[in-house]
A and B are shown apart, each in its own frame.
Chain A
């Protein structure tokens, strides 16, 4: 009985700290965001999540961090597949999209390219952008996935943005990029 209780208690605690719930995180397509990260008086799940992550997030008033471990279809992001990440112009001070392995490490590659940002991604005349995740070189904004296995993406958005209100990040759905699988090796 004690073992069952221990497993249930630790398991549910771990799950809500790692994965979040509707009370702590917002999910927008493949993207999830911890709404109260770094905020004074944040709920204990968020506080524990931030402590465990080892990160020092800026509160959502000034920056937002969107995480994706799946494509827009909900399938795991894999380094041996190729993805197109495309989004409309983002009217924010700065954004940056970086790719990591599941342990949060950058992925070694000959091009030494780990991210694209608002200031260095090539964009169309309407401000929209397309970034391709692939092991092999691609024209345009190529983000190499090297020898990693599973991937996670972090989209950092700096400055005042249209979804800063405390009610959540639901307004972001039209602004966050779509992640579409092109092919797998």
Chain B
């Protein structure tokens, strides 16, 4: 085989490898069977709050879950209208984060930032005309924060880090009272 043709084989192989590389990286997120949304889909109903069981060696709802954080999750679907998420905030440490199904964290707020012990979020689809990238607080009236979601479906996670193991039970109880629902009566007057 001539020098020239063996070089062209090397180059063609590298080019093909490059294409395969790019396809792998771009396609993987779509087909990752074990991404967080897929795992949560198996556990939760849409527009319902679920307190994930504490991570233990025997069971973890998501990989690498923190053993000293309690999580409440809501898989929201806005196709039938906005969704309301209500939770108490026991500690400044608590963090409420909103994600798209592919895991983009488009909005996060901590208990320390909220400075109140109870909060309602209205999650609404991002207005067509909205120029903001991701989400922003469109309106903030009293204890209601409006979150504009870039996609119709997503995941909200309330994280409650435990100041110590003895806080676990109480924290789980408080989280179990949080809710996620289509019913936004009583606070829908603040919209529009």
Interface residues of A (CB under 8 A from B): 1-2, 4-10, 12-14, 16-17, 38-42, 44-45, 47-48, 50-59, 61-63, 93-94, 96, 98, 100, 103-108, 114-115, 117, 119-120, 154, 156, 158-159
Contacts and interface: CB of A to CB of B under 8 A. Distances in A.
A120 B164 contact: yes
B62 A9 contact: no
A1 B21 contact: no
Contacts of A1: 9, 12-13, 16
A119 B104 contact: no
B16 A5 contact: yes
Contacts of A115: 66-68
A156 B99 contact: no
A12 B29 CA distance: 16
Nearest to B99: A56
Nearest to A8: B17
A93 B110 contact: yes
Nearest to B67: A114
- Chain B at the A interface: mostly helix, strand, loop or mixed? mixed
Interface in B149-164: 150, 155, 157, 159, 161-164
A63 to B, nearest CB: 7
A16 B66 contact: no
Given A9-B19, A39-B104, A48-B26, 15 more contacts: A4-B17, A6-B16, A8-B20, A9-B17, A13-B20, A40-B134, A40-B150, A51-B103, A55-B62, A55-B64, A61-B108, A114-B67, A115-B66, A158-B95, A159-B110
B25 interface: yes
B78 interface: no
A96 B161 contact: yes
B18 A9 contact: yes
10 contacts: A38-B99, A55-B103, A56-B36, A57-B103, A62-B95, A96-B66, A103-B63, A119-B161, A120-B164, A120-B165
